[in-house]
Amino acid sequence: MRGAILIAGTHSDAGKSVVTTGICRWLARQGVKVAPFKAQNMALNSVVAQDGSEIGRAQAAQAAACGIETEAAMNPVLIKPSGHRHSQIVVMGKPYADADARSYQQLKHELKPIVGAALADLRERFDVVVCEGAGSPAEINLREGDLTNMGLATAANLPVLVVGDIDRGGVMASLFGTLALLDERDQSHIAGFLINKFRGDASILQPGLDQLQRQTGRATLGVLPHVEDLWMDVEDSLALESPRPELPALGETLDVAVLRLRWMSNFTDVDALASEPGVRVRFTRSAVDLERADLVVIPGTKATVEDLQRIRDDGLDRVLAARAAAGLPILGVCGGYQLLGERIEDRVESRLGVVDGLGLLPVMTAFHPDKLLRRRSGSCAWLMSPVAGYEIRHGRVTRHGGEPLLRDAGDQEPDGCRSGAVIGTSWHGALEHDAFRRALLLHVARVRERDFRPGDVNFAAARESRLDVLGDLIERHVDTDRLTDLISGGVPAGLPTVHTEVRTCSVS
């Protein structure tokens, strides 16, 4: 099998990532050499690939589903919002420009050949490339210069499947309307539909699917059932509304409150905590939640100074200070670590110069124009455990008190700081390492006098298991013969164009 396909959606969070990841897993299990691709991704959750590039975390999960290492070509353009109407543009894994929405539109002509070359490179090295769109292909105000939906499909001659989320209602209208809004050329690439998150007997849908096919000339290749607790590495905060699964406790429970920042990034760092039996993880801005929690986690942020000011505006700085004074555990990761310090010098993101931090850790941060992107590994002497992670940051942190938290296995400088009950680290992904995560939770339990007992969940194995669930969804609920034909055969010939009558309304 050789070819490529684009998975689009009727809207953001319709299930594009789930379907793309599931197809990648299903193909990999068939022995197909497959790779993911997302031309343009807007996300604050990212990872450092083996080649030292930064790409969206969803594409890293998709690469894992394929059984391959991540690389820059899988996500050539990554947009990272860093404040109101302002974003950092990462191209082929490295910072490329800062732009607002209008100036980014002007950048697209520069980025189009880069996107095309990245996809062509993957298609040359892999049998199949499964591409994921962004938002909706029917965002006709953005069609000119589009890099990731129908612009990509027409440039690379890709067949397109459109995914609709029936759980939100109106899925038939959404699928039909998405197709109908496109011009004739774009419509010719829409080869079929998929329906996501259906509850109940799928046969009830059949009359509607039959009518949709009669009106559009396109079949629905599958109806994916709603699966409880189906969570995976995600792109943005839309997924925060979906609760993390809670495993039954082996002893007493631990309550983890994650401070919900406006511009938080890599909040998937805390997913591993939710994999432990008896650990409840929730995102919150409630002062009461932060006061009562056994552990407060302040995640990364792409706008450290702006989020710091909002913490102060909401009075949460006083809550955190009271926790620290009472010896109650606080963990800051990357941007969360930086704002826990005494001072931040930022002439890169906010450009506000020197501002005071929360003063809960004896560290100072200076932002540099160049971004530090690297993988790290080492140990935590305090918790007597190995640990590893990766860094994505402009901030350079200097510690002048407390104790270093993590030691690098090589010759690189130690990371992080521990002072009283407050700890901070620049390493994303550290909590995914089972020994470190459990040792930290046991420390929290001792401080809080809880009879908490960690489980034996291997987080890497749990993540693999979730990827297999997605592969199973495709294998069991999608017409894989027709999917294979689309991938291998390309855009079907003779697909009809849906014409909508436009009437001019007058108001008297």
pLDDT digits (tens, 9 = 90+) for 119-172: 999 999 999 999 999 999 999 898 988 999 999 999 999 999 999 999 888 999
Residue 292: inside a domain, yes or no?
Answer: yes
What average pLDDT does the segment 210-229 reach?
93
Q: What per-residue confidence (pLDDT) applies to 267?
A: 86
Residue 460 has pLDDT above 50, yes or no: yes
Q: Active-site residue 131, yes or no?
A: no
Q: What per-residue confidence (pLDDT) applies to 422?
A: 98
- Cα(444)–Cα(504) distance, integer angstroms: 66
Residue 508: inside a domain, yes or no?
Answer: no
Same domain, 38 and 72: yes
Same domain, 374 and 307: yes
Residue 377: inside a domain, yes or no?
Answer: yes
Q: What per-residue confidence (pLDDT) applies to 103?
A: 80
- Cα(333)–Cα(339) distance, integer angstroms: 10
Same domain, 106 and 145: yes
- Cα(115)–Cα(224) distance, integer angstroms: 31
Residue 74: CB atoms within 10 Å: 31
According to DSSP, the β-strands at 54-56 and 46-48 are: antiparallel
Q: What per-residue confidence (pLDDT) applies to 3?
A: 97
What average pLDDT does the segment 372-377 reach?
94
**506: confidence class by pLDDT, cuts 50, 70, 90:** very low
Residues in the chain: 508
Q: What per-residue confidence (pLDDT) applies to 235?
A: 53
Residue 267: inside a domain, yes or no?
Answer: yes
Strand, coil or helix: 456: coil
Q: What per-residue confidence (pLDDT) applies to 256?
A: 97
Same domain, 199 and 259: no
DSSP 491: S
What average pLDDT does the segment 349-367 reach?
94
The 10s digit of each residue's pLDDT in 381-420 is 999 999 999 999 999 999 999 999 999 988 788 999 999 9
- Phi, psi at residue 61, to the nearest 5°? -65, -40
Residue 321 to residues 148, 317, 324, 359, 410, Cα–Cα distance (Å): 45, 6, 5, 8, 35
Same domain, 449 and 470: no
What average pLDDT does the segment 202-219 reach?
94
What is the CATH number for 212? Answer: 3.40.50.300
Same domain, 295 and 387: yes
Q: What per-residue confidence (pLDDT) applies to 238?
A: 44
Residue 470: CB atoms within 10 Å: 26
**231: confidence class by pLDDT, cuts 50, 70, 90:** low
Same domain, 207 and 268: no
Residue 248 has pLDDT above 80, yes or no: no
What is the CATH number for 282? Answer: 3.40.50.880
Same domain, 152 and 269: no
Q: What per-residue confidence (pLDDT) applies to 118?
A: 98
Percent of residues, the chain, with pLDDT higher than 90: 78
Percent of residues, the chain, with pLDDT higher than 70: 94
Residue 242: inside a domain, yes or no?
Answer: no
- Cα(442)–Cα(244) distance, integer angstroms: 21
User: Mean pLDDT across the chain, nearest whole number?
Assistant: 92
Question: Which is nearest to 166 in space by CA: 201, 117, 137?
Answer: 201
Residue 81 to residues 45, 99, 263, 285, 312, Cα–Cα distance (Å): 11, 9, 8, 20, 21
- Cα(143)–Cα(147) distance, integer angstroms: 9
Q: Annotate 248-292 with three-state secondary structure.
A: CCCCCCEEEEEECCCCEECHHHHHHHHCCCCEEEEEECCHHHHHH
- Cα(225)–Cα(236) distance, integer angstroms: 23
Q: Which residue is catalytic, options 66, 131, 380, 428?
A: 428
**429: confidence class by pLDDT, cuts 50, 70, 90:** very high
Residue 330: inside a domain, yes or no?
Answer: yes
- Cα(408)–Cα(388) distance, integer angstroms: 9
- Cα(380)–Cα(368) distance, integer angstroms: 27
Q: What per-residue confidence (pLDDT) applies to 507?
A: 44
Task: Provide the number of structural domains found in the chain.
Answer: 2
According to DSSP, the β-strands at 40-42 and 77-81 are: parallel
Q: Which of 3-12, 129-138, 228-237, 494-503 has the lowest mean pLDDT?
A: 228-237
Q: Which residue is catalytic, options 24, 66, 334, 417?
A: 334
Out of 8-12, 81-85, 188-192, 246-250, the most confident range is 188-192
What average pLDDT does the segment 302-318 reach?
95
Residue 293 has pLDDT above 80, yes or no: yes
Same domain, 359 and 330: yes
**229: confidence class by pLDDT, cuts 50, 70, 90:** low
Q: pTM for the complete prediction?
A: 0.90
The better pLDDT of the pair 302, 501 is held by 302
Question: Which is nearest to 164 in space by CA: 222, 237, 227, 229?
Answer: 222
Residue 361 one-letter amino acid: L
- Cα(421)–Cα(324) distance, integer angstroms: 6
Residue 506: inside a domain, yes or no?
Answer: no
Same domain, 472 and 450: no
Give the domain extent around 264. Answer: 248-456
Q: Active-site residue 417, yes or no?
A: no
Q: Where are the alpha helices (DSSP H) in 51-160?
A: 57-66, 101-125, 150-156
Residue 505 has pLDDT above 50, yes or no: no
- Cα(435)–Cα(430) distance, integer angstroms: 10
What average pLDDT does the segment 314-340 reach?
97
- Cα(233)–Cα(221) distance, integer angstroms: 25
Same domain, 108 and 256: no
Residue 239 has pLDDT above 60, yes or no: no
Residue 384: inside a domain, yes or no?
Answer: yes
Sheet of strand 295-298: strand arrangement: 279-284, 254-259, 295-298, 330-333, 422-425, 417-419
Same domain, 484 and 441: no
Beta carbons within 8 Å of 89's beta carbon, 6+ residues apart: 77, 78, 79, 80, 95, 96, 97, 98, 99, 104, 107
Q: What per-residue confidence (pLDDT) applies to 351?
A: 85
Q: What per-residue confidence (pLDDT) applies to 348?
A: 85
Residue 321 one-letter amino acid: A
The better pLDDT of the pair 351, 485 is held by 485
**423: confidence class by pLDDT, cuts 50, 70, 90:** very high
